[in-house]
């Protein structure tokens, strides 16, 4: 049963990492934006997610995901014994990845629909 957990996580996390980093236009969009803090640019500034913070957060998530995958492979190979802390770390990495993906999807959807409202002047 626990082998299935590690095997599933080892297969799912790379797909989620691909969705977070490589398959989205999120990083391309941020690269083309000026992302100064709101106190520096009250009209167009961001509240928290400056380019530096996005860089650190995205790299941190990528390191955690890759660590999780590596630990899953090591657990499947029998090199790392199964334990509650290991399962907790792996599960926390999955939850962090899913929460990050949900946040990014939410921001993209809200931004796309807000743009539509501005363009058409309707609430659709």
Ordered per-residue pLDDT tens for the chain, 124 residues: 678 999 999 999 999 888 887 766 777 777 777 777 777 777 766 777 777 888 899 899 999 999 999 999 999 999 999 999 999 999 999 999 999 989 888 877 887 787 554 555 555 4
CA 58 – CA 18 distance, rounded (Å): 12
pLDDT score of 104: 83
pLDDT score of 115: 58
pLDDT score of 116: 52
pLDDT score of 118: 52
Domain ranges of the chain: 2-120
The Cα-based distances of 82 to 2, 3, 5, 49 in angstroms read 8, 9, 11, 37
CA 105 – CA 24 distance, rounded (Å): 10
In degrees and rounded to multiples of 5, residue 32 shows phi and psi of -90, 0
């Amino acid at each position: 049963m626990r082998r299935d957990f590690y095997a599933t996580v080892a297969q799912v996390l790379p797909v989620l990492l691909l969705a977070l980093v490589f398959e989205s236009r999120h990083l391309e969009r941020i690269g083309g934006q000026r992302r100064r803090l709101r106190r520096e640019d009250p009209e167009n500034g961001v509240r928290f997610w400056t380019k530096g913070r996005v860089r650190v957060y995205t790299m941190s998530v990528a390191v955690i995901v890759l660590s999780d995958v590596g630990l899953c492979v090591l657990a499947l190979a029998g090199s790392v014994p199964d334990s509650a802390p290991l399962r907790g770390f792996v599960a926390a990495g999955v939850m962090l990845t899913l929460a990050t993906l949900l946040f990014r999807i939410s921001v993209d959807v809200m931004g796309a629909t807000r743009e539509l409202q501005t363009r058409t002047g309707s609430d659709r």
